[in-house]
Structure formats: C-alpha cells, structure tokens
Structure 1
C-alpha cells in the first residue's frame, strides 16, 4: 500500500491504494511515518510523497476513522517526522487531496500538483477536529481567513486558486514526478550540511 523507491538519495514514497482513492489506514500511516523517520538517519537527500492513480489521497479510511483513526497520534507522528527532516521535501499531488492527508502535504517544504485537482479538509462536516499542527501550518501559508474557508466553510479549492493563495507552489502539465525530481537536483547535489543549513534558515 505504501511503496518506497530510493534513487541516488531521492526517496519517493507512493500511496498505492487507488481503488479506495488512496484512503489511509492506520497501517499505511505508520508505514509513511516509518519512512519519514528513517529518511534522515539513513541519508536521504530529498523526500517526495505522491500517490498512484488519479487521487493523491481521500484522507482517512472512513471505517477506521470512525473506529478511532481520526484522533490517532499517528497523524502528528507522520507530519512531525516530515517537518523535522533536514532535506528538501515535496508533496507531488497527482490529484485531489482531502482530509487528514493534508497534514503530510502541509509538513512538506513544497507542494506541486497536476491541474484540475482540488484541496479540501471537511472536518466541520465530518465532526472531527483537524490535527493540531495542521492548522498553524495552514495559517502560515494562506492566512487565517483562507484557512477558515477550508476548515470552517468546507470549501473545495481548485489547485489554481490554491496556488494564488500560496498553498500550492506549482501546477504542472508535464510528468509530475519528473518535475518533482527536477526540483530536488540542486539540493541533492549540495553537501548535506549546506542543504541542512539553508533549510534551517528558511524554516527556523
């Protein structure tokens, strides 16, 4: 369900459950968190997270969400591990991203997307709270009013509008993973400490 490919220091994690819109089970989230936690110590120079099929992720598997996954600490474990990485991290959105899956994208340094995708986080309608670190990360990117549009008004935001807001960094027509790999070239080619230092200067 989570596939990992490693090529020249570039780690690419793919959510591969397209028949279920890449909805995330607890086991899949744990696998993603394991990958993010391993990436730094094992020398990853970049981490790209993407999905198989036409949807990046519909968020939590609904059966597991209602059974407790919606409030599991594994979401924060995953986003925290991504945010803590010293290398460049990219969410390569192959399609719509929804719900708790937003957390891993918000924790990445960059978010790129195919055209036509949408971003939404229907916590108001579903009766769940967003993950604690997701809200400040979202507000930092788009401001409180636009965060309210997503979280409180439940709006599905097209990635073109999301790019204007600062939530998406680039909408691409070319092969998504080729674009993502192109974005990490300079960082992968630099000395690890140089990349680490610049990331620290950018994100604190």
Structure 2
C-alpha cells in the first residue's frame, strides 16, 4: 500500500490504497516511517497519493482501536521534517485528518485544484499531534490554524494557496512533473551547499 520509487537520488513515495481513499493503517505508518528513516541518503523526496484523494487520514476501524493517538504520526512527521533532502508533498486530492502531519512536515506543498484540506480533530474528540498546529501556524498564522482545527473548515486548494498552506496549485497532469521540476536543482546541487541553504532558511 506504500510504493517507493528511487531514481538517481529522487525518492517518490506513493500512498497506494485508493479503494479506501488512502486511509492510513498502522502498518502503512510504520512503512512510511521506515522509508523516511532510510531517506537520509536521498537528495529529494516527493510524497503523493494514488487516485483522487491524497489521504482520508486514519483508517476508521484502526482509529476506533486507538490509532489516532499512536506516536507513529508524530514520529513520522518529525523524521520527515528532519530530513536533509528537499521534500515536496504533491497533493493529488483531498488531505484529511492526521495525514496533515506528514504534509506539514514537508518543505514544499503543491495541490491539484480539486483538493480540499481539513483536520476535524476537535469535532471527533481528539487532540492533533503536538507538532501539527505549530507547523501549520508557522505557515498560515494562529487564526487560520484555528479556522481549520477549531472551526472545522474545509479549505479549498485556492484558499490554501492564498493562505500560504500550499505553494502552488497545478493541474492533475502537471502535478508530478511540477514536483520533479521543484527538486531538480537539489538533485544536482553540492550536498554541503544545499544543507547550508536549508539551515539558513529555518
């Protein structure tokens, strides 16, 4: 359910369970974490999904069994955020719930026009993972973060772009080509120079 393609320093990770809207199970999170931990050697990483939804968040059955409070979510987002490579989330569709964490941890985010972003944790009676509100607020400010996390609003791709939550909105056929174009310079850059620039941008 998690596909990994490696091509000369570029790692493309695809959530591939479109029949269930790429809902994330514990085993999928563990596999994503293993890939993220191994990606220290990658020069760039693209995270995307198969089908029309990026991810519906936690698998419903496993959420009822306690997955929503697992530390896997926070470990995954923290590992992605700490990667030395350039990371791009290419949202092929709607992003929901806990799947926001790994996307917020990426350096860049692009989305198709039909994508919506929502994170209804308060309505469902859960706290978000600790780093998610901080990363979201760093991108769009506290009020708009509360609009999503507390007011429960679904944000369109255009609104997300206007807020600064995504960096570009692109047609579906151009989603992965755009992501690959964004990482092209990083793939050929001197790793020391690239790491130095990344540190200066923090």
Which residue number in structure 2 is paired with residue 27 of structure 1? 27
Residues 73-126 of structure 1, C-alpha deviation per residue, up to 9 Å, x if partnerless?
A: 000110001000011000000000000000000000000001111000010111
Q: How far 1:9 moved relative to its partner?
A: 0.3
Q: CA separation in 2, counterparts of 1:115 and 1:163?
A: 10
Q: CA separation in 2, counterparts of 1:66 and 1:127?
A: 12
Q: CA separation in 1, counterparts of 2:12 and 2:61?
A: 28
Which residue number in structure 2 is paired with residue 5 of structure 1? 5
Q: How far 1:154 moved relative to its partner?
A: 0.2
Which residue number in structure 1 is paired with residue 97 of structure 2? 99
Tell me the TM-score normalised to structure 1 length.
0.97
Q: CA separation in 2, counterparts of 1:128 and 1:60?
A: 12
Which residue number in structure 2 is paired with residue 179 of structure 1? 178
Task: Tell me the SS of whatever aligns to 1:175.
Answer: helix
Which residue number in structure 1 is paired with residue 196 of structure 2? 197
- Number of aligned residue pairs: 201
Which residue number in structure 1 is paired with residue 136 of structure 2? 138
Q: What value does the CA root-mean-square deviation take over the aligned residues?
A: 0.7
Q: What is the correspondence of 1:15-164 to structure 2 with a 5 Å cutoff?
A: 15-40=15-40, 43-164=41-162
Q: How far 1:197 moved relative to its partner?
A: 1.0
Q: Which consecutive residues of structure 2, in runs of 5 or more, have no partner in the other structure?
A: none
Q: CA separation in 2, counterparts of 1:161 and 1:105?
A: 17
Q: CA separation in 1, counterparts of 2:198 and 2:54?
A: 26
Q: CA separation in 1, counterparts of 2:26 and 2:156?
A: 28
Q: How far 1:138 moved relative to its partner?
A: 0.5
Q: How far 1:192 moved relative to its partner?
A: 1.0
Q: How far 1:175 moved relative to its partner?
A: 2.0
Q: CA separation in 1, counterparts of 2:27 and 2:196?
A: 33
Q: CA separation in 2, counterparts of 1:37 and 1:94?
A: 24
Q: Which of structure 1's runs of 4+ aligned residues deviate more than 2 A? A: none
Tell me the TM-score normalised to structure 2 length.
0.98
Q: Which consecutive residues of structure 1, in runs of 5 or more, have no partner in the other structure?
A: none
Q: CA separation in 2, counterparts of 1:76 and 1:55?
A: 22
Q: How far 1:62 moved relative to its partner?
A: 1.1
Q: How far 1:69 moved relative to its partner?
A: 0.5
Residues 141-187 of structure 1, C-alpha deviation per residue, up to 9 Å, x if partnerless?
A: 01010000000000000010111000010000242111100100111
